[in-house]
Structure 1
């Protein structure tokens, strides 16, 4: 079915490029379908920077088994990032050699007791197809150390399609007169708006540290999402799991039973499940047809849970300017 879907999308895309007389019109968009994958791997807090304890192997296996086109990772150490590259190369997943990008949130430190044993700590993205030049943007600084970022890269063959990864702070403190998490969300949204103004289609995945029904995401979600669990929205995006039948407007939980400190994560309203904070957003106007999202059980291949977050996946067809 996946192959048939891709063939159908290719035929639609090619047909859309032709005028009645058969002449190509470069301004017409194409439509392509993508599988998106996202995981906060807790690379330091639960894996102590290890590239060999099972987490990297679990990530690589999931990316391949889920037939992912794009993968975004949060809280990953540099050594883990390089090990994941090697695993994916070995599996024959990428179609080229320039398919991953890394953005540092905390720089390498001489103190090996620091995050990632002193190595760099950050976010990353991977693409099955060749990537173009990446851009990274520093977000407003919180008081927890490091600098949160937005990392984006276009497909080399589709420069108007960008894949992005971000990790919003968990801090809710007021800094400079407003909450720092709200400032960071606004900064990310501003960069996305700039991409859209340039004609780009953007797929973004990350740990947003905000539940879908929170007010600080109202200007992300489109007003077309208007259900009891999530209403009053003013934005232009849909989240790929936002119509999950078990919790419409929110989606499935994306966290585990315990957090990185070993503390229990309790179920909460509106659907009596643990929080959903890892999200996959696409601008509604770019979406063609139905879309789906899912949340996968946490691998226990690390002598226990490999993370306190679940892997989040989604499938969506989007218009892309050519």
Structure 2
């Protein structure tokens, strides 16, 4: 995993700002793990074909603190919860996971159960906030799911999955950003991870990304957030590594390496040290086939948290 110091970035003439924690804050370093698992589309609602066990193994191998999943069937959520519990991953095995349905039960998807998003946390979670994003007219209702740590209530982790319907992409991204800003106004530190169904250099995210990220690969930004893979000069600086397993040759991103549509965002004034992320190799442990059309995105960030 790449961790770049301010000195290295300065030497490479990249204009990423330095961050410092407020004196009244504590700092903490978190490893974040995000995956759109294509629970029904490619795994056909199976909890035994290899996807769940591959996810659990990767989560443990990366020693993740926070986990976000998209397109997860309810049965797969329960199976992953059991797997991580039996492996001793959570501190409190009765309080470490939250699920929010997006595609409703009663249809052919996920064997008639819900498909949705989920968060897992190594440390116990407090109550969850559940938001429905602006309606795109589809049966699946896009969601934002957030929960604070029980023993650190100003530290929040969120998962989301935005629409592919183009005319609603920006309104949903703005909705997520506004909820993060609401948390910020209350003194909270929030990390959000998920499939945004858009790319870093698209104008729809200009109000999300900080101007400190502006590079030839991702410019015009006016927001307050950094993505954990935006500071790697070796892999499309300002944009990041691709997260789509099956790259579309007609949409290879600004560096020709493939499309990135999965993200881990943190507000710039909460970053209190190095941050980094990487897109992991496509997982083929599902009967020799790809487990998902997305790659796992794994990152690390040191943040300040109001004490």
Relative to the length of structure 1, the TM-score reads 0.86
35, 38, 41: which one aligns with 1:45: 41
For 1:270, the equivalent position in structure 2 comes to 254
* Matched-pair contact (CA < 8 Å) for 2:253–2:260: no
* Matched-pair contact (CA < 8 Å) for 1:257–1:266: no
Q: Secondary structure at the match of 2:158?
A: strand
* Matched-pair contact (CA < 8 Å) for 1:257–1:265: no
Map Cα deviations across residues 227-260 of structure 1 (whole Å, 9 max, x no partner): 11111110000000012222001000001126xx
For 2:272, the equivalent position in structure 1 comes to 288
* Matched-pair contact (CA < 8 Å) for 1:238–1:283: yes
State how far apart, in whole Å, the 2-side matches of 1:50 and 1:310 are: 19
For 1:100, the equivalent position in structure 2 comes to 97
State how far apart, in whole Å, the 2-side matches of 1:266 and 1:218 are: 23
Does residue 313 (structure 1) correspond to residue 298 (structure 2)? The answer is yes
234, 237, 242: which one aligns with 2:225: 237
Q: Secondary structure at the match of 1:63?
A: helix
Cα 1:296–1:117 shift into 2, 3 Å = same
Map Cα deviations across residues 9-41 of structure 1 (whole Å, 9 max, x no partner): xxxxxxx99xxxxxxxxx921000000000000
State how far apart, in whole Å, the 1-side matches of 2:254 and 2:115 are: 34
65, 84, 87: which one aligns with 2:83: 87
For 2:69, the equivalent position in structure 1 comes to 73
For 1:219, the equivalent position in structure 2 comes to 207
For 1:255, the equivalent position in structure 2 comes to 244
Tell me: higher relative CO, structure 1 or 2? Use CA pairs within 8 A at least 6 residues apart: 2
State how far apart, in whole Å, the 2-side matches of 1:190 and 1:99 are: 26
Offset at 1:143?
A: 2.5
* Matched-pair contact (CA < 8 Å) for 1:106–1:145: yes
State how far apart, in whole Å, the 2-side matches of 1:319 and 1:183 are: 29
Does residue 154 (structure 1) correspond to residue 140 (structure 2)? The answer is no
Which structure has the highest strand share of the two? 2
State how far apart, in whole Å, the 1-side matches of 2:185 and 2:235 are: 35
Flag as ranges the 4+ runs of structure 1 deviating above 3 A.
Answer: 264-267
- Structure (1 or 2) with the larger CA radius of gyration: 1
Does residue 31 (structure 1) correspond to residue 27 (structure 2)? The answer is yes
Aligned residues: 284
Any unmatched runs of 5+ in structure 1?
1-15, 18-26, 173-178, 259-263
How large is the RMSD of aligned CA atoms in angstroms? 1.5
* Matched-pair contact (CA < 8 Å) for 2:162–2:197: yes
Offset at 1:267?
A: 5.2
Relative to the length of structure 2, the TM-score reads 0.90
Any unmatched runs of 5+ in structure 2?
1-20
For 2:59, the equivalent position in structure 1 comes to 63
